Chains A and B, each alone.
Chain A
Amino acid sequence: MRKYLLKRIFYLFLTLFIVATATFFLMKLMPGTPLQNEAKLTPSEKAAILAQYGLDKPVWLQYFIYIGGIFKGSLGLSFQFSDQAVSYLIGSRMGPSMQLGGQALVVGIIFGIILGAIGAIRKDTWADRLATILSILGIAVPSFVLAILLQYYLGLKTGWFPVAGWSGFAYTLLPTLALAASPLAETARFIRTDMVDVLSSDYIELAKAKGLSKFGIVYHHALRNSLIPMVTLIGPLAAALMTGSMVVENIFSVPGIGEQFVKSILVNDYPTIMGVTIFYSALLCLLLLLTDIVYGIIDPRIRLSGNGD
């Protein structure tokens, strides 16, 4: 277990190192400097600005400074907002993103489980078909389309929910809904497939033969066993949420990381793009590692150190 953990942590750092290196050199290939009115500046002013961002040094030195900085928690200065550190930018915008992501994950997983379970229990009935249609729609309708529709029809037209902004719980409802659709659909499909298998296994037959109530069978025996493999889904779901958050936060003007990322891309704020990239990768790597550990704990049948190699 310990050896396995150490190996995984080593790969986590290796991954992040590769991401940081690749991002750094990709960004160096691109045109653009932090200078805004380049024509109007005198050479000495230019030199001063470049020196502020460390761009006067040779590229290899810049690279070592950048990588060294990451270990100290520094991700450089943003081009877009003068004198603002990227790490501060990310830190100050993490709250809304995490809240939205967390809420969407909880809503998506809970309702996904309910929908999937209904589909499996009432297999081949109208309820199953309805659940299937809902879950396939959740996958087919892109989050940005759903977000726009929700914003217009539930926000602007009916006035039931705030249209955009970030000042209180009510403002989180529509973005959460827009983000939750895809995890909900994925969860529902996963749970349905898995529960159909579980429901036809011997121990469910035994539970039925013992005369347990239908709810007892589903809740205590079927659902619990279907939930274990669900843990592996959390990594991919989190990655999908990051994708979704970029547009959903933009549409609902939520001051989160995704919104900042899109803005930075559009104005070529390279340090911020690099910082957010590394942040997203680190988050996903950590989640993947955590899910693997949790999986090993809740299902002792899976041996972490095994893994075939």
Chain B
Amino acid sequence: MADNPKDIQLTSADFAPLDKQAGPDNERIAAPSLTFGQDVWRRLKSNKTAFTSFIILVLMFLIAFGGQAIYHHDPNAQEPKYANLPPKIPGVNIHGLNGHLTQSGQDVDAYKQAGAGSNVHYILGTDYLGRDLLARIMYGTRISLEIALIATLIDLTIGVGFGIISGWKGGRVDLFMQRVIEVLSSIPQLVVMVLMATAFTKTGMASIIAAIAITGWTTMARLTRAQTLQLKNQDFILAARTLGESAPKIAWKHLLPNLSSVIIIQTMFTIPSAIFFEAFLSYIGIGISSPQASLGTLISDGQKNFQFLPYQMWYPAIVLIILMLAFNLLGDGMRDAFDPKSKR
């Protein structure tokens, strides 16, 4: 070793990292280190309720989007002579699932009454036009989910974009944008939806999606703005600015990844609310119109016969309730998983 610093000869081998496991035992990191995502996933898995909800949702998505590949029944095929048949599953002899009905106190085989052969069976029964209820529920769930997901996606894009711009620009722009949100959020959400839905009458899905998306983004924008305000004064953002990174690139590469937990959690609560509003609009008759079906129209159709054929409303209602429950519970679980400090 020479004393003169100029004599030091460094090769790339001198910069090789040290063996992490070398050194005293008590400083060794025993467990493998996890990324943020892995950590969240681990916490989510340990939350039984949230994880069950997650599994249920995956199953429902699979059935709604892929179910028709296995269950080949046209949700719109009408069979008037087999109208209003109760559920019948071959080999199951429980009242309510064996094709029998109680009519004026007597047990009647509704399938025999309708003159259906022994090979005819509808797992969840048929509706007032003789359409297969299971096929319709699968189809309706798919439409409901499609509407909710697309609306949420639009919602998220507008909300996050608005929030980041508002928080990043600050000053007058921020002040103006905040007033816009203030005005928008003091109009009842439903009123705007009804107006939008009536304004684009008879266009079906697109108008509902527009109605939900236009009203839902203000909460997301508020949350994103608050987070952006906190982040933008931190050193890593300052460093990026000093190095001459452009604003859109900072937003994409530095702000968005740090906002992701807020965005994901809020999205988990936006989806069930979109599902609810879709069902609501379809239920009162300004949403999806036939022959398309959604959970809301199925419930509304089933309600007409509820007194005599309760299954026609119960099944779509149960699907809707399970969807709402699962999304809400998963949302709660996600919030805990992303923010382990919160004690709930």
**What residues make up the interface of A, taking CB atoms closer than 8 Å to B?**
11-12, 14-15, 18-19, 22-23, 26, 29-30, 136-137, 139-142, 144-145, 148, 152, 156, 193, 196, 239, 242-243, 246-247, 250, 261-262, 265-266, 268, 273, 276-277, 280-281, 284-285, 288, 309
Contacts and interface: CB of A to CB of B under 8 A. Distances in A.
A29 B325 CA distance: 39
Per CB-CB distance, the 7 closest pairs between chain A and chain B, nearest first, are A140-B324, A140-B325, A243-B190, A15-B183, A26-B199, A145-B317, A285-B186
Given A137-B325, A196-B343, A144 B299 contact: yes
A243 B187 contact: no
B191 interface: yes
A309 B187 contact: no
Nearest to A152: B306
Nearest to A192: B344
Nearest to B285: A266
A246 B188 CA distance: 13
Contact of B183 (A14, A137, A196, A273): A14
Nearest to B314: A149
B198 A140 contact: no
A266 B289 CA distance: 13
B320 A284 contact: no
Contact of A265 (B175, B194, B279, B324): B194
A59 B314 CA distance: 48
B77 interface: no
Nearest to B179: A11
Given A136-B328, A239-B188, A148 B279 contact: no
B189 A239 contact: yes
A145 B321 contact: yes
A261 B197 CA distance: 14
A246 B328 contact: no
Q: Interface majority SS on B: helix, strand, loop or mixed?
A: helix
Interface string B266-287: 0000001000100110011110
By secondary structure, the A interface counts as helix
Nearest to A261: B194
15 contacts: A11-B186, A15-B187, A29-B199, A30-B201, A139-B328, A141-B321, A142-B276, A142-B279, A142-B320, A242-B191, A243-B189, A262-B285, A265-B198, A280-B188, A281-B187
B156 interface: no
A136 B329 contact: yes
Interface range, B side: 35 or more
Contacts of B198: 26, 30, 265, 268, 273
B187 A250 contact: no
Contacts of A139: 324, 328
A140 to B, nearest CB: 4
B195 interface: yes
A89 to B, nearest CB: 17
A142 B344 contact: no
A288 B285 CA distance: 30
B139 to A, nearest CB: 20
A193 B187 contact: no
B261 interface: no
Contacts of A152: 306-307, 310
A26 B96 CA distance: 48
A153 to B, nearest CB: 10
A57 to B, nearest CB: 22
A250 B280 CA distance: 13
Given A139-B328, A142-B324, A193-B344, A284 B186 contact: yes
A281 B284 contact: no
Given A140-B321, A277-B195, 12 more contacts: A26-B199, A136-B325, A136-B328, A140-B272, A144-B283, A144-B299, A145-B317, A148-B313, A196-B344, A239-B189, A265-B198, A284-B187
Contacts of A242: 188, 190-191
Contacts of A276: 191
B307 A284 contact: no
B315 to A, nearest CB: 12
A23 B195 CA distance: 7
B303 interface: yes
Contacts of A261: 194
A18 B183 contact: yes
Given A29-B199, A145-B299, A309-B175, A281 B188 contact: yes
Nearest to A197: B343
Nearest to A151: B306
A198 to B, nearest CB: 12
Contacts of B178: 309
Nearest to B185: A288
B245 interface: no
Contacts of B183: 11, 14-15, 18
Contacts of B285: 262, 265-266
B39 interface: no
B182 interface: yes
